[in-house]
Structure 1
Amino acid sequence: MKILITGANGQLGQEFQKKFNQLKISYIPTDYQQLDITNIEQIRKLVQKEKDITHIINCAAYNNVDKAEVEWEKAYTINGLAIRNLAIVSNEINAELIHYSTDYVFSGTKKEYTIYDEPSPINKYGESKALGEKEVKQAQRYYLIRVSWVFGMGNINFAKKVISWSKDKEELSITTDEKSAPTYTVDLVEATLELIKHKVYGLYHITNTPCTRYEWAEYILKQIGWRGRLNQAKRSDFNLPAIRPESSVLNNFGYNQVTGKSMPDWKDATKRFLKEMGYNL
């Protein structure tokens, strides 16, 4: 195996690098400074230089949900058109393409979504990721993996934000009407490699188990011994530019059937993450 990682400096990209170093798997880490995936000729030039690439793992994405309402063309380009470029190049070099999408491709009006459900995004970010889902299908061999609420050691995420807020605030307000499933980067990397091993291409949902934003924050704060007050809030209290889905739980049906494995519980994943952060639990 020789793997090209795009978006290698993001939290998922960093996790793959750690894993590949452990397994002694050959990889080429690139971020937007080294490789602009919106430019197909740049991708072609790189793969011609780095011969024998067997897999392209795309961890690059435009992730600013609120800014995407205004910068929708940028979001569509990075999350949509760039995926078309990766799909075309993966075909040209006969490589497998692994691409990640999001629960935000759904409206959030159902309690949970399976791989059967058709995307119905309610914000521009969700639309841009839904466009990427269409484009990835140009690849002859692809894994399209939907995730939600990704968290890990690299970069900022909701879990890290909660910890940061708790350091200088005695009172926090977190939404009770946003439900999805945290996805720990360590578990996601393991699950992705499991799929690659089985070579069953297609669409998957891979997350830990479901909870609300409030339940997740409450658990984190309890584990780290915060003594402040946690208030229940609603999405409407924050007046954000982009609408968020109320319940966008992804059902992992398909992954379990192919691999014979289940994703760990969200509390277990969160506890392991906090230990990785240095908390003595």
Structure 2
Amino acid sequence: MILVPGGRGQLGHDLALLSDDVRAVSSAELDVTAVTADDVRGYAAVVNCAAYTAVDAAETDEDRAFEVNAVGPGLLARACASVGIPLIHVSTDYVFSGDGARPYEPSDDVGPKTAYGRTKLEGERRVLEEGGWVVRTSWVYGAHGSNFVKTMAALEFSRPSLSVVDDQRGTPTWSRDLAAGLLELASVLPSTRLLHATGGGETTWFGFAQAIFTELGADPERVTPCTTADFPRPAPRPAYSVLSGAAWAAAGLRPLPHWRSALSEAFRAGVVAPRA
């Protein structure tokens, strides 16, 4: 049985959907900031999906973000190590500066520009220090919880047109594909401890939004491009956050499907509920 803290979010939901050997628990059931060895004893592995993900709020709530994103994973990693259980910890593209021009490798220099990114980076460090695995991902969406795909679907229904940022580049990742990859990782446990797992290819938020409109059967020309400067946020977004999957493949793990084909499959699977 695999324990999944933070299991009520979109990724935890899909992990439980894909395997009967997953116990996905909420933060109320298992608080990673107070976890002990007794909480993880007896499991075959732990996949940590618990995180403080409110990127903008973290700018003024960094202490709480640090507790959940750094202290919690460190305690969880120590608890797992003490009883000999592998820990897989999910991290983010926000650990990088976003100033790159080619897909980031796990070994590339980090340089987070947000409180969220700083706290996630410290969580990575603590997990790796205790011998766990870290998997960075990006632009995750799924059927459960809030995400960009659902937001765009709601806006398509309520607005005649909308503007979406076209100068931030990354890779959409369907939570179902990521969940399958994490389950494979848990069964293989390669010697490489720091990996990237995202959908294949790359696009911008504008390109992603147009693809979502297409899947909805709507005119993608209703989406127009704009710049990051047009929509300032408290936490700066990475201009470039494409993650390389080379180390993932080199570890013998199946690459996740290309983001565009994954989006089509996600819609066929009901990632957006049909309108009444």
| Shorter-normalised TM range | over 0.9
1:4 aligns with 2:3: yes
Offset of residue 32 of structure 1: 1.1
Report the AA paired with residue 215 of structure 2: Q
Offset of residue 29 of structure 1: 2.4
Partner of 1:149: 139
C-alpha distance in structure 2 between counterparts of 1:17 and 1:165, whole Å = 29
C-alpha distance in structure 1 between counterparts of 2:241 and 2:143, whole Å = 24
**Does the aligned pair in 2 maintain the 1:54–1:94 contact within 8 Å?**
no
Offset of residue 135 of structure 1: 0.8
Normalising by structure 2, we get a TM-score of 0.93
**Does the aligned pair in 2 maintain the 1:195–1:259 contact within 8 Å?**
no
Offset of residue 262 of structure 1: 2.3
Q: How does 1:202-221 map to 2 (within 5 A)?
A: 202-209=193-200, 210-221=202-213
Deviations 1:42-86 (A, max 9, x none): x33433xxx521211101100011000000111111000101100
Which of residues 102, 114, 117 in structure 1 aligns to 2:105?
114
CA RMSD of aligned residues (A): 1.6
C-alpha distance in structure 2 between counterparts of 1:14 and 1:59, whole Å = 10
Report the AA paired with residue 126 of structure 2: E
Offset of residue 156 of structure 1: 0.8
User: Unpaired segments of 5 or more residues in structure 1?
Assistant: none
**Does the aligned pair in 2 maintain the 1:204–1:254 contact within 8 Å?**
yes
Q: How does 1:1-281 map to 2 (within 5 A)?
A: 2-21=1-20, 25=21, 27-40=22-35, 43-47=36-40, 51-111=41-101, 112-140=103-131, 142-201=132-191, 202-209=193-200, 210-227=202-219, 229-259=222-252, 261-277=254-270
Report the AA paired with residue 225 of structure 1: G
User: Unpaired segments of 5 or more residues in structure 2?
Assistant: none
**Does the aligned pair in 2 maintain the 1:37–1:82 contact within 8 Å?**
yes
**Does the aligned pair in 2 maintain the 1:100–1:145 contact within 8 Å?**
yes
Normalising by structure 1, we get a TM-score of 0.91
C-alpha distance in structure 1 between counterparts of 2:12 and 2:208, whole Å = 24
Report the AA paired with residue 30 of structure 1: V
Offset of residue 198 of structure 1: 2.1
Q: Percent identity?
A: 31
- How many residues align? The count is 269
Cα pair distance change 1:197/1:35, threshold 3 Å: closer
**Does the aligned pair in 2 maintain the 1:97–1:139 contact within 8 Å?**
no
Offset of residue 261 of structure 1: 2.7
